[in-house]
Amino acid sequence: MKLFHSPETPVTDQTIGQALAAFRDGVLSSTELVQACLERSDDGRDLNVYVTLDAAGALAAAGAADAARAAGLPPKPLSGIPIVVKDNIHAAGLPCTAGTPALADFVPQEDAPVLKKLRDAGAILLGKTNMHELAFGATGFNAAFNTGSQPGVRNPYDSERIAGGSSSGSAAALGARMALAALGTDTGGSMRIPCALNGCASLRPSWGRYSASGIVPIAHSRDTAGPMALCMADVALLDALITDEHGLPPVTLAALRLGVAQEFWNNLDEDTREVAEAALETLRAHGVTLVDIPDAGLQVLNQPVGFPVVIHEAYEDMVAYLREQGPAIDIQALARGIHSPDVRAIYEQWVLPRKMPGEDGPVDVAPAYETAQHGGRTVLRERYQDLFEIHVLDALVFPTTPAVAPLASPEVNRPEQFERLIQNTEPAASAGLPCIQMPIGLGSRSGLPIGLELDAPLGTDRRLLAIGIVLESILGRIPRA
């Protein structure tokens, strides 16, 4: 096992709240924190975290934050906090490649609204992070834009393993303590999967709660940006700044009811089962009520929804994006520039011809899309709501991924690996529900991070974040790589 190690830099282990307190107490400057993150980034070049690292810009912003603090100006909520952003989210003046050479020369002139909110709050952008090409995958094994000797974004806990995807570099940056927070995107698990594999926390917000402008799309009815950080309180802070929804409702462990749907506990490897079941026992011991649900049926209901929606919307949404927000190339030119064989195959076989697999070969995806949008998705959402109401649940709880990070190789992008990684994250994405991912431990055999996901009723994002903060207080946080 080849592990990524670098010199001790404890300053980068801090949460946002701890760093802000250190700034106020005068024991840490923004420049010192940014410099420490840049040193971690340089030490971890072989992890292939960045597409663009803007060291000069970040240090200049840190100096300005320090000067403002010294002048006694009122601090902003994130003054001097270094963050990274997935490279499918627009950042003014920096390339936005979406992990594909086809967009390598595209430089947006404005921040996406989700990033602007954080920069307006004082956040310092270190750079744009690597990702599964065009966000069309769950591994982050993308041989384009690499800074190290091995292809693909690598896991800081074991550099011979994947970081997960598609928000690969954002999660790996947090796991390696190259930044204190990040933005990613999630269509079917793209924030939750890499955060689970890299030991960090995230929120997939209720669909439509965050602006989708300035973000390279896959499927508009499933895509969402979201915050990623080292602890749930930081995720809640980022969410509040993006949405202007401040405050958290009170949560008591004795009143908390979590559903354990058995279908999300299948196909688990030994480490994942051991750590996740131990977490449930800890919750139960602290008064949380766990409700067994043997027949949820959510994964079956999702099967006719997920693939048709993504493939159908991927064509029109990309065409519109390239025309209205992107570099004004056509989708065929984009497809010709795709580097990853797995993503190229998706575009050539399904997206461009607008087909999907049928019993006797490829078939037109439009009828299945109409059925999914106007029938299947409604049924899935209603089933979720029935489960929440019948069992009086605050959320469903289960392992985010069924297994720890697999070894990195071109074979990791096989369809069966993709299906396993998204097994538990896909249904809630189709339903548009809010989901949190929180790290709960390291496997006793692998030493790799394991994550727990909670899915809650639509629109209950702030309550779900409050639940995550309370659960983290008893489950604890895991050490950095």
Catalytic (active-site) positions: 86, 166, 190
CB 474 within 8 A of CB 283: yes
Cα separation, 235 vs 201, whole angstroms: 7
Work out whether strand 435-442 and strand 201-204 pair parallel, antiparallel, or are unpaired.
antiparallel
Asked if residues 121 and 162 have their Cβ atoms less than 8 Å apart, the reply is no
Residue 257: other Cβ atoms inside 10 A: 14
Question: What tokens does 372 get?
Answer: 């999914």
Which residue has 């906090």 as its token pair?
A: 81
For residue 416, the tally of other CB atoms under 10 A from its CB is 7
C-beta of residue 203 within 8 angstroms of C-beta of residue 211: no
Whether the CA torsion 231, 232, 237, 239 is positive or negative: it is positive
Which segments of 131-231 does DSSP mark as H helices, in order? 168-175, 192-198
Q: Within a 10 A sphere around the Cβ of 323, how many other Cβ atoms?
A: 13
Does the CA dihedral 167-231-478-398 come out positive or negative?
negative
